[in-house]
Amino acid sequence: MTAPKIRVEQATKRFQQIAALGPCSLEVYPNEFLCIIGPSGCGKTTLLRVIDGLVSPDGGRILIDGRDVTGPRRDVAMVFQHFGLFPWKTVYDNVAYGLRVHGRSEDDVCSLVPRYIESTGLQGFEHSYPYQLSGGMQQRVGLARALAVDPEILLMDEPFGALDAQTRELMQEELLRLWRGQRKTLVFITHSIDEALILGDRVALMSSRPGQIREVLPVDFERPRDPEAMRRSARYAELRHHVWGQLRAEVVGGAAR
């Protein structure tokens, strides 16, 4: 069996007196698209930040390719819900930022930035500033910036949560297109059951705080996927019903504790 790309072993994290995470264990396999869903405040973002090395666990271990994560890594990139763009930088300079931080030459920057601007549909907006862009276009800039550094692992923290429904579906299609072309190992946090099922190879369900992985569910639909056909299938309805039942039990149970 293929060795996990990411292994979370009994990770725990507290913030002051609040137990935010764990003990939490999870495996993510190379080139897998794994979606994580759970109640609000259950520690999903904390888990992602621990994997990224931005936050150190209080207990347990995080391993990537069998090596302990002790801090941020060049082969891991994160895309945030609220875009995380520099408002004083143009689209071009926002996309170039990670490359320059990593010490890439300006020749590399000039070669790579236009490629990722084009692949994310931002041609013609290179010299625009974030305030001049729609929410969907700003998220494309964040995605282009993350992809430009060619990470092996892409972590996405509810990246489409702030978008309207139509733009969200378009961005889901765009992300799947880019992922099919590059097949990164991708961990994607979402509050949407439909989004998790349409995007993910597997869906990990987290418990109420302190977050633990309660179940990892395979999404057994062939790729490339037709979201409309998926939604009409009995299997999709079965999976959605199961995920909602587990999620509802966690929300109700968490409120009762």
Going along the chain from its start, the domains and CATH numbers come out as 6-75+153-256 (3.40.50.300), 83-150 (no CATH)
Model confidence at 62: pLDDT above 90 = yes
**String of DSSP letters for 26-78:** EEE-TT-EEEEE--TTSSHHHHHHHHHTSS--SEEEEEETTEE--S--TTEEE
What share of the chain in percent tops pLDDT 70?
Answer: 98
| Residue 24 one-letter amino acid | C
Average pLDDT over residues 25-34: 96
pLDDT at 255: 54
What mean pLDDT is predicted for residues 104-123?
Answer: 92
* Six-digit token string for 39: 């109640």
Provide the pLDDT for residue 254. Answer: 60
